[in-house]
Structure 1
Amino acid sequence: MFYLASKSPRRQELLKQIAEQFELVSADINEVAFKDEVAEKFVLRMAIEKAQAGLKNVVTINPSDWVLGSDTIVVNNNNILGKPKDFEDCLQMLSGLSNKKHQVMTAIAVINADTVLSEVVVTDVVFRAITDVEIKDYWQSGEPQDKAGSYGIQGLAGKFVKRIEGSYSSVVGLPLYETEQLLLTAKAQSKKLTLEGAK
């Protein structure tokens, strides 16, 4: 069996494109960076910890069962941008991203009882200039409130994006190519274990 340790409907929809069957499992963790923890290490740690928490919540786990954990962060000038606390926070974040390039990092971790397969995908996103009025209107739409960096590229904020350099699906929340490659590796390892056990 294959499990997704995520409540995100965006990740669930993306995963359906590459995985025929999977079940959801809860994975609540403390999503706070360590002091001086660099962004790439933080997002990878979050993905692994989500997968590990999900694995603990699987009632009956078999050696061939795998859990996928994923985390996405927005990084501007090496600063990690979380979800906005209020409108002022959103205004500060999006003003800082206006007319600039920033990075969106998504980490994926596919684990079982013995193995951790993981990768971090970094995509550059370039915003056009955004006015304070546009940011206020966007905030009032309700979309930014639960989004890292105060925006969702797949929604109304798509009009702010001049271009991206990298994986679009990664910016949405799950890099499809890289995730499929990890799942294929996991499947091959499970098949190998099954064959060895049958000897």
Structure 2
Amino acid sequence: MQMTDSQRIEAPREKVWEALNDADVLKASIPGCEELIKHSDTELEAKVKLKVGPVKATFGGKVTLNDLDPPNGYKIDGEGSGGVAGFARGGATVRLEEDGPNATILHYDVDAKVGGKLAQLGARLIDSTAKRLAGEFFASFAQQVAPSPETETVSSSEQDQANGDASQDASSGEEKKGWLGGLFGGKKKQQADEDKLADVAE
């Protein structure tokens, strides 16, 4: 399986490079990643749960980073096993290209092989799944490195709406309190008047 593509990220190259070496960012970006342990600057261990067609499995594997050239890129070599589901091994070359002062083009070339039940699913299904997972990874990665203005705007609008709802609830509470206060206060005043009339009658 071979795959070549690129992704534009709205962040400086140095920031993208740091994110590519941040285990927390990678874990949040990898679809189905349950665990990602960084043993050193060049060795990581991951546990990923995936579904490829009818096959579901949890893959455990090791990843090694080679040919580090900060902040230009590196090469990834890895292999993982999903038990009876099969195995995957291969590598990828990642290259970062500046696109102005505040944007980066991330280029990647992937060459991988699969075996076991996965290999029986057919190249077309495996390729389409790999492209989908890669798309999900880079979309999530880009969102973490450089959150879109739309997301921030929506968050602000939701916060404003929440504040507005809270103010409305408080206002309603005051109105309710005033209404109830008037109701019970009126009853107390009526009771006091009745007591006075009783005293006069006696």
Which of the two has greater helix per residue? Answer: 2
TM (norm. structure 1) is 0.28
Which of the two has greater strand per residue? Answer: 2
In terms of Rg, which structure is larger?
2
TM (norm. structure 2) is 0.28
